[in-house]
Structure 1
Amino acid sequence: MILNRLFIIKFIKYSFVGIICTLIYFLTMFIFVELFHQEPVIGASISFIIMTLFSYLLNKKYTFGGKYSHQQLLRFLVVSIIGFTLNFIIIFTVVHVLSFHYAIGEIVTVLVIPLINFTLNNIWTFK
């Protein structure tokens, strides 16, 4: 019971950090694609890297806590690379294969990647 409650609280904190990081991602994506006229896959890639830096810092401090370790940072980067790869594949497929607007791909990434990242970070990175 207590374990489930702690898990739920951690997931809520992770979700809050995720909302902040998603806003950072969408803002930087908009800036790169709409203002700087970058190709959406490039904009998504750069935005994902920026968001990942904020995600690590906020999740380490706010969600998972604990002391800093190189092992956790490396594991977080592995999880981020998995998320980055999924993000790239989804955006590329939506924009270049299916010929949809990049915003459709962004919606898909927001639904898929955070669940995968939370699961991996919770059971592996910050365990």
Structure 2
Amino acid sequence: MFELGLKFLKFSAVGLSGLAIDFCITFLAKEKLRLNKYFANSLGFVFAATSNYLLNKTWTFQDTNPDAVTQFSKYILIALIGLIINNLIIYLLVNNKKKMTFYWAKLVAIGIVVIWNFIANYNFTFTSS
């Protein structure tokens, strides 16, 4: 149980670095390049997911699986499902009667999706660790 908790803490720390990447890319794409907010959100998510895969593989799970292509494909599949959940939560929170701001909704969505990502990656992507 301690090992699982430690992995979740590491996963969360990696997630914080991903959060910074995600928000920076999203902000640049949405505010500076004036791209659609959902496309900008998706760009931020993809950059963060790629960074997080590399950090989680080497640090969180200390995984030595030589089949990185298959493993990365699994990670990205989970991240894409997370992206769908992320965008759905943002849509629901921004377009309701109380109209939460985009960035607050994004923060809520990330908090929920991190739990999905950890459980799915722990049980599916990094099963050999």
If the length of structure 2 is used for normalisation, what is the TM-score?
Answer: 0.86
Tell me what 1:51 maps to.
48
Q: Determine if contact 1:90/1:109 at 8 Å carries over to the other structure.
A: yes
Gaps of 5+ in 2: none
Tell me what 2:113 maps to.
113
Tell me what 2:125 maps to.
125
C-alpha distance in 1 between matches for 2:10 and 2:28: 27
User: Aligned ranges for residues 1-127 of structure 1 at < 5 Å?
Assistant: 4-67=1-64, 68-69=66-67, 70-95=69-94, 97-98=95-96, 99-127=99-127
Greater helix content = 1
- Counting aligned pairs with the same residue, the percent is 26
C-alpha distance in 1 between matches for 2:40 and 2:113: 17
33-42 vs 23-32, which moves further:
33-42
The superposition leaves residues 44-92 of structure 1 with CA deviations (integer Å, 9 ceiling, x where unpaired) of 0111111111111111111112223233222212211111111121223
Query: CA RMSD, aligned part only?
Result: 1.5
Gaps of 5+ in 1: none
